[in-house]
Amino acid sequence: MVEHKLTAIPNTENVEIKQGFIDRYSKLTDWEEFKKYCLCFLRRSIRVNTLKADIEETRKSIESKGWKLEPIPWCKGGFFISHPDRKDVGNLWEHHIGKIYVQESVSMLPPLALDPKPGDIVLDMCAAPGSKTTQMAAMMKNQGLLIANDYKGMRIQSLGINLQRSAASNTIVTLMSGTRYKDFQFDKILVDAPCSGTGTIRKSLKTLRIWNPSMLRKISNEQFRLAENAFLNLKPGGVMVYSTCSLEPEENEAVVTRILNRFDNAKVEKVNFPGLKIGTSVMEFEGVKYHEEVKDSVRIWPQDNDTEGFFVCRIKKLLDE
């Protein structure tokens, strides 16, 4: 892990955390470590947009203005970024003109796991505001077709702005529920699903306040419906990635288990990322056993790499026999 200083978020010593949350996460991980990282500032990070900029030139130009950049080991062109005067990276000129994209370091993982290539036909089912769509357009060198879908009009606006700013020109934007796609044969699909966001507490403490275990069943069902429909719209031999910024087993291993049980031709493929510590998958939780293949999914705890928490799973649609 890259060494750096942790800074506690001020006035969080007595932050109220629901007992149910403490009990649940004490079963899932080292609660004290998890809590410590949840209550410390998150390192900012950027990704150089290779559709518009050269990685080394951009790095030098930003460093010449007093910023410190440190490569993110698992993403070429990704950097942790800081400034001695705590300047806001959103004010950088390179951000305004689309040479860089401000993106969490582990949010770069799902596109890397999907690995879209120039010429592929790709669906980003839950795309707004577009951090992963713009990353994929760059990976595809603007070749092939990338459909960026979301079902919230307001969020589609920021998606459109980000695509334009990043010069992503192989994209088409659609506005509907991802569950409504029918009879397509995509090479690759990303389902970066709506979730409870328990991996993002250090960015938004509000998540702790609104956390409520009774909402998990509903969210999990919606996530399954999106993932199920993604699988149906993959060509044989195609690949999907299911990801969330949640750490709840019901939203992650349970959804993947349902996909594996629903489709005989679904297979989880293991992915590795250089320099990233991956946590053990949850194989059983509160009396529910998950499919053995979920062991090959990627569970990221904030305390393991000093990042947000994330879950990523690459699922292949096997060729028909």
Ligand X SMILES: C[S@@+](CC[C@H](N)C(=O)[O-])C[C@H]1O[C@@H](n2cnc3c(N)ncnc32)[C@H](O)[C@@H]1O
Residue placing its CB nearer to ligand X in the complex, 41 or 151: 151
255 is written with which tokens? 């959804």
Residue placing its CB nearer to ligand X in the complex, 17 or 122: 122
CA separation for the pair 70, 80 (Å, rounded): 5
Number of residues that bind ligand X (CB under 6 A): 20
**Tally of CB atoms within 10 A around 24:** 20
Q: Is 251 in the site for ligand X (CB under 6 A)?
A: no
- For residues 268 and 313, the answer to whether their CB atoms sit within 8 Å is yes
Q: Is 194 in the site for ligand X (CB under 6 A)?
A: yes
Given 152, 209, 262, 270, the residue binding ligand X (CB under 6 A): 152
**Tally of CB atoms within 10 A around 190:** 29
Could you tell me which stretch among 30-38, 62-70, 145-153, 275-283 binds ligand X (CB under 6 A)? Answer: 145-153
Q: Is 192 in the site for ligand X (CB under 6 A)?
A: yes
Residue placing its CB nearer to ligand X in the complex, 17 or 126: 126
Active site residues: 245
Name the minimum Å distance from CB 201 to ligand X: 15
CA separation for the pair 284, 281 (Å, rounded): 9
Residue whose CB is nearest to ligand X in the complex, by number: 126
Residue 141: left (phi > 0), alpha (psi -120 to 50), or beta? Answer: left
Q: Is 132 in the site for ligand X (CB under 6 A)?
A: yes
CA separation for the pair 139, 199 (Å, rounded): 26
**Tally of CB atoms within 10 A around 131:** 22
Regarding beta strands 121-124 and 171-175, do their DSSP bridges make them parallel or antiparallel, or are they unpaired?
unpaired
Q: Is 150 in the site for ligand X (CB under 6 A)?
A: yes
Given 12, 61, 174, 177, the residue binding ligand X (CB under 6 A): 177
Binding site for ligand X (CB under 6 A): 107, 125-132, 149-152, 155, 177-179, 192, 194, 226
